[in-house]
Structure 1
Amino acid sequence: MDRLKDKVAIVFGAGPNIGGTIAHFLAREGAKVCVSDVKEEAATATAEFIIGRGWKAMGMVGDARNDDDVKRIVAKTVEQYGRLDVVVNMAGRVHWDDVLGMQLDDWNDSVASFATAGLLTTQHAARAMLACGSQGSIIHLLSTAAHFGEADGAAYCAAKAALLNFARSAAMDLSHHGIRVNTVTPCSMEHQLWTTMRDEMFDPDWRQPERRGFYSRQEYLDQLPLRRFPRAADLAWATVFLASDESSCMTGADLPVDAGLRHKYPTWTPGSHDPRHINDYARATRVTRYGEEQELLTDLLGDPIERS
């Protein structure tokens, strides 16, 4: 439980799923953590959760796309804890539309959410690390969208791909300072079963949306060699590793946490050889907050619809 003892970390994006779980695991491994979010309630709730378990944390409101906000959050963290060793950036907003219909404001917001936020968090973190003599670790959360083209996902794919190659370039720029920059790539997450994609399983009148790039949870599950979606804890453990001295010779690297999705042969469909229905998967799924299991999903949302 001391893999990050005496280290100080900032997590940009701190809801109870991915960001909050990462912050929780960093704190559990000994780091003092600042959790930041554009929503005050999210930052406060995550900080209070960590403090309630006996670890050190503080919450701050801020937008990772805003230079002044990022600078203020980094400065306050160093003022509070005396140094900075780890920064995790997973902030960002997603806009879906095809190329012909993409609005310029949505495009610009996507680029700002990921590529610009990546620049600002890296820039201010690295400056603070240099000032306090820390050979720190900067970690950006990506998506399989950074590696593939997706229908209706031009803005998201482009912005995530920009963040991927930004991180690689930043790793080269900062290497002679001993500051490492790496990325973690998840695919569609398990918590989306009870958030953005719940209607597919729990609404008997659900119909697939018209959007061309849309896929069902069943179709996605059938592409995963490990036959499960990544959980927030899976990303948190990967982040802990990249934040710790265990990865001290790694920079410019991307860790795929995607149940094998990115490395399977494209035409191989794992679900054809190991079928599992999404409703059965959902019945066995537990809701998690900050990486801790809550009630069974079916206890919260009712019994999933039966197979047709």
Structure 2
Amino acid sequence: MNRLANKVAIVFGAGPNIGGTTAYFLAREGAKVVVSDISLSAAQETVDFIRAKGFEATATQGNATVEEDVRRIVDFTVETYGRVDVAVNMAGRVHWSHLLDMDMDDWKDSLLSFPTAGLLTTKYVAKAMIAGGHGGSIIHLLSTAAHFGEATGAAYTSSKAALLSFARSAALDLAHYGIRVNTVTPCAMEHQLWTLMREEVLNPEWKRPTDNMGFYSRDDYLKMLPLQRFPRASDLAWATVFLASDEAEIITGIDIPVDAGLRHKYPTWTPGDHTGVNIKDFAEQTYVTRYGERQEKLIPAPPADATR
């Protein structure tokens, strides 16, 4: 506790998974947090949760890819709390398409969104830090897509890779101001089991599609993870807390992989082939989480009389 005492943070992106959990963990460590989202109701839901826990947070609405919105959010933070010390950005839009079918509007929308949000949040937060006469920490959330090619993901991988390179350059531009810029890279997340991948995990009639060469199942993915579990929103939040804190005051321009060892394993090694890990057993032991806290089991236990 209190690793971020007297610091003020902005989180661009809310919701009960990555953004909201990160905002909550920052607040729990003592930061005053401004939660911004394109949906004011999503930002307010996160703030209500944080306040109910006894911590300080304020909601505001804005699109991190729109310059005037980002300027306004940063100004609002300084007006409300007097300064800004930390910013966490995860904003952007995703479009999936085989490159032969790529729509140019989708390409431009996706390709520009992540690095544009990166530029704007970094630029205006850094200006506020410099005007305040102090340094700070800016953290961008990436994806394994920033480091690998992915079938049907040309727009997404290009956009995330651009954000990675932007963050490295921004770290150099801002270093002499005492402003650190770093990134955190997750792979597929545990919460996707009950959001994007719900049917695959929970529907016993689900079948693997045969017409999508870029498809891989959650079972395929889990078997590739040396630590044998998907990262949780809380794992990303803890990495972010570290980078935001004074414990990381000498660290800039780096990327922390929060991916259960996926990026650095030998590509052809499939750990799950040796351990027997499988998505059915994993899902049966998994709890749905909101803001990093356990809720109900993902797959409820059968009624007591079901085995009679």
Q: Which bracket does the TM-score occupy, shorter chain normalised?
A: over 0.9
Note the C-alpha offset of 1:201.
2.1
* 1:6 aligned onto 2:6: yes
The range that moved more, 203-212 or 63-72, is 203-212
Q: Provide the rounded CA distance (Å) in 2 between the counterparts of 1:235 and 1:201.
A: 23
Note the C-alpha offset of 1:212.
2.3
Tell me if the contact between 1:13 and 1:37 (Cα under 8 Å) persists in the aligned partners. yes
The amino acid of 2:294's aligned partner reads E
Q: Residue in 2 aligned with 1:275?
A: 276
What do the CA deviations read for 1:180-221 (whole angstroms, capped 9, x no partner)?
000000000000011100111222332223332221000000
Q: Residue in 1 aligned with 2:203?
A: 203
Q: Residue in 2 aligned with 1:19?
A: 19
The amino acid of 2:7's aligned partner reads K
Q: Provide the rounded CA distance (Å) in 1 between the counterparts of 2:112 and 2:133.
A: 29
Q: Residue in 1 aligned with 2:176?
A: 176
Q: Residue in 2 aligned with 1:236?
A: 237
What do the CA deviations read for 1:237-271 (whole angstroms, capped 9, x no partner)?
00000000000000000000000000001111111
Percent of aligned positions that are identical: 67
Tell me if the contact between 1:186 and 1:257 (Cα under 8 Å) persists in the aligned partners. yes
Note the C-alpha offset of 1:111.
2.2
Q: Which runs of 5+ in 2 are unaligned?
A: 304-308
Q: Provide the rounded CA distance (Å) in 1 between the counterparts of 2:123 and 2:207.
A: 45
Tell me if the contact between 1:149 and 1:157 (Cα under 8 Å) persists in the aligned partners. yes
SS in 1 for 2:42: helix
Q: Residue in 2 aligned with 1:306?
A: none
Q: Provide the rounded CA distance (Å) in 1 between the counterparts of 2:6 and 2:268.
A: 47
Note the C-alpha offset of 1:93.
1.8
* 1:253 aligned onto 2:257: no
The amino acid of 1:99's aligned partner reads L
Q: Residue in 1 aligned with 2:116?
A: 116
Tell me if the contact between 1:84 and 1:134 (Cα under 8 Å) persists in the aligned partners. no
Work out the number of aligned pairs and report it: 302
Tell me if the contact between 1:83 and 1:134 (Cα under 8 Å) persists in the aligned partners. no
Q: Provide the rounded CA distance (Å) in 1 between the counterparts of 2:73 and 2:300.
A: 39
SS in 2 for 1:295: strand
Q: Provide the rounded CA distance (Å) in 2 between the counterparts of 1:198 and 1:221.
A: 15
Note the C-alpha offset of 1:133.
1.5
Q: Provide the rounded CA distance (Å) in 1 between the counterparts of 2:32 and 2:26.
A: 8
Alpha-carbon RMSD across the aligned residues, in angstroms, is: 1.2
Q: Residue in 2 aligned with 1:52?
A: 52
Tell me if the contact between 1:83 and 1:132 (Cα under 8 Å) persists in the aligned partners. yes
Q: Which runs of 5+ in 1 are unaligned?
A: 304-308
Q: Provide the rounded CA distance (Å) in 2 between the counterparts of 1:109 and 1:207.
A: 32
Tell me if the contact between 1:152 and 1:211 (Cα under 8 Å) persists in the aligned partners. no
Q: Residue in 2 aligned with 1:35?
A: 35
Q: TM-score normalized by structure 2?
A: 0.96
Note the C-alpha offset of 1:100.
1.0
Q: Residue in 2 aligned with 1:287?
A: 288
Q: Provide the rounded CA distance (Å) in 1 between the counterparts of 2:157 and 2:236.
A: 20
